[in-house]
Structure 1
Amino acid sequence: MKKMKKILSSILIASMAMSLAACGSSSDEGVYHIGICQQLEHEALDAATKGFQDALIEKLGKDKVQFDLQNAQGEATNCASIATSFVADDVDLIMANATSALQACAAATSEIPIVATSVTDYATALNISDWNGSTGTNITGTSDLAPLDQQVDMLAELVPDVKQVGILYCSAEANSVYQATEVGKYLDKKGIAWKEYTAADSNEIQSVVTNAIADCDCIYVPTDNTMAANTEIIKNVTVPAGIPVITGEEGICAGGLATLSISYYDLGYKTGEMAYEILVNNADPSTMDIEYASATDKKYNPTIAGELNITVPDDYIAIEGY
């Protein structure tokens, strides 16, 4: 009998030890699970995601954070599916990269904290009429809005004889509509005529740009994700026609002359710092003001400048690789 008790005791101790070992070795213990919904792949959004991840890895340690990075390939329906899967997985926080991603994540949950980036205007994206700097919901983040008035100044500086500007953007992107409206106001103040040219999707870009260069002597492209993914099309139409393109961010300048651009990596990094405050210090996203890039740079595409025979002022920085 004593021998049987001893065996049972040994089995019980071994079982408890295995249980404790299992608890101690759990890969989920103390690890933050973060879902990243990126609207599509292009240089600016990729840089923002990288900055976001680097900030959290640096602050938390690479063993304390797990990222589930999902790319929607530019499809709103994919954004919705990704957001729904993150909610089902009960992630600790969602990062929404670009406007359609934000809108899908906002529709999927009002409880899980959401930090967004590469969004131009949150009031427009979230249909908030009484904007006061924060969303009042489970959402906060960073804006990629560069000074639009200074972009118009740049346009006038580089194309001093401009008669009419074509504002080119995707009509499906709410923040592009916002930027086009604001840029139009600044062009009005300078007495420069302008006209909007919109494409519903990438299939329409070539024909729309072709129509624009027939009437305009300069093109302006805001921070538009559809255009950013199709810079080669824009370049192939505008450069042979001798039409300069001013862009809202550096990535689109692969098909343009110059930009007054922010650093999307730095913007993503700032977004990661905001996520850290929410995860570790219990910051409330509903009261966290949307943050903006702290600096901008005048940059230009040296290859296109040469092809257009345009001399760029000395305070512009040549974009490497262009």
Structure 2
Amino acid sequence: QDDNQGSTDGEGTKYTVGICQLVQHEALDAATQGFIDALNEALPGQVEFQNKNASGDSANCSTIVNGFVSDGVDLIMANATGALTAAAAATSDIPILGTSITAYGVALDIDDFNGTVGGNISGTSDLADLEAQANMITEWFPEAKKVGLLFCSAEPNSRYQIGEVAKCLSDKGIETKEFAFTDTNDVASVTQSAADYSDVVYVPTDNTAASNTEAIANVLVPAGVPAICGEEGICKGCGVATLSISYYDLGVTYR
């Protein structure tokens, strides 16, 4: 999916920015729009955007960013982990900005990550306060004894989040169990297993979950199992509460 925005009219140097967004859903869409709006405000009429969506396929991310490299874009904005890893593999010369990345060290497999990637990669993180999210579970549902951790096994940043939340809940004496779907095809069946086990379900900032909130809600709501979610878009679709950031502001942060 292509969506070219921006202009090459006006005064000043002209720039071409390639945007690779892993998948279309509310949070990532907002981050992309915030980024576009901020650059258009900072450099009116000077930026042409090549805005491409990988439709949830990491292989498509590689094709997209390799196209950006061939086109000689001035900057690549990689929206979500799959886009970032593809961009990092494609070029060490063109500047890369990541967004909607929970943990750069996890995403790029950097040992002893100190908060700076270095080289041609920088960006912003959507990591929320995971301890506070865990606290929400016990505050909203003090009688809960079992929490199902629902996420996509193909997303390393999701696994990082559920690992941290599990530690926090364990310290409170709450039992947790992981329920991992591999892609959209088994979201419903895995969610059913989570619903059968859980008093409450926790869903982190997970792109596959964000794209399948209706399927998750279709299981959890009839089962009467509430979900605490990692971000607002997922919460709107299948949850009852979240402690989240503004993804639009995350995109604007580049200004």
Interval of TM-score (by shorter of Structure 1 and Structure 2):
over 0.9
- The code of the aligned residue for 2:108 comes to L
SS at match of 2:243: strand
Aligned to 2:150: 168
Counterpart in the other structure of 1:79: 61
**Residue 89, structure 1, aligned to residue 71, structure 2:** yes
Distance 1:64 1:235 in 2: 43
* Aligned-partner Cα distance in 2 for 1:184–1:55: 37
Question: Distance between the aligned counterparts of 2:52 and 2:11, measured in 1?
Answer: 20
**Deviation (angstroms), 1:27:** 8.6
Letter in 2 for 1:199: F
> Which amino acid in the other structure matches residue 50 of structure 1?
Q
Instruction: Decide whether the 8 Å contact of 2:20 with 2:52 is kept in 1.
Output: yes
- What stretches of structure 1 move > 3 A for 4+ residues in a row? 25-29
5+ long unaligned stretches in structure 1: 1-24, 274-322
State whether structure 2 residue 239 is matched by structure 1 residue 256. yes
User: Of 37, 50, 58, which aligns to 1:68?
Assistant: 50
2 CA distance for matches of 1:191 and 1:237? 27
Q: Is the 8 A contact 2:9 2:46 kept in 1?
A: no
Question: How far off its partner does 1:130 sit?
Answer: 2.5
In 2, Cα distance between equivalents of 1:26 and 1:185: 53
CA–CA distance in 1 between the matches of 2:210 and 2:124? 19
Q: Unaligned regions of 5+ residues in structure 2, if any?
A: 1-7
Distance 1:147 1:31 in 2: 39
- Separation of aligned partners in 2, 1:214 and 1:206: 12
Compute the RMSD of aligned alpha carbons.
1.4
1:198 aligned partner: 180
In 2, Cα distance between equivalents of 1:77 and 1:136: 25
Match of 2:114 in 1: 132
Distance 1:26 1:268, change over 3 A: closer
- State which of 29, 37, 48 in structure 2 corresponds to 1:46: 29
Give the structure with the higher percent helix: 1
**Secondary structure of 1:40's aligned partner:** coil
* TM-score, structure 1 normalization: 0.75
Structure 2 partner of 1:37: 20
Cα distance, 1:242 vs. partner?
0.6
Rounded to whole Å, the distance in 2 between the matches of 1:217 and 1:90 is: 52
Contact 2:10 2:46 in 1 (8 A): no
| TM-aligned CA distance change 1:65 to 1:213, over 3 Å | same
CA distance in 1, matches of 2:71, 2:188: 41
Q: Could you tell me how far apart the structure 2 residues matched to 1:29 and 1:50 are?
A: 23
**2:105 pairs with 1:120:** no
Identity %: 57
Provide the secondary structure at the position in 2 that maps to 1:137. coil
Q: Partners of 1:92 and 1:130 in 2: how far apart?
A: 30
Which residue of the partner structure matches residue 230 of structure 1?
212
The Cα of 1:28 is off from its aligned counterpart by 10
2:15 and 2:216 mapped to 1: Cα distance?
41
- Whichever residue aligns with residue 142 of structure 2, its letter is P
| 1:245 corresponds to 2:222 | no
Answering whether residue 191 of structure 2 is matched by residue 209 of structure 1, we say: yes
Question: Residues of 2 paired with 1:160 and 1:260: CA distance?
Answer: 18
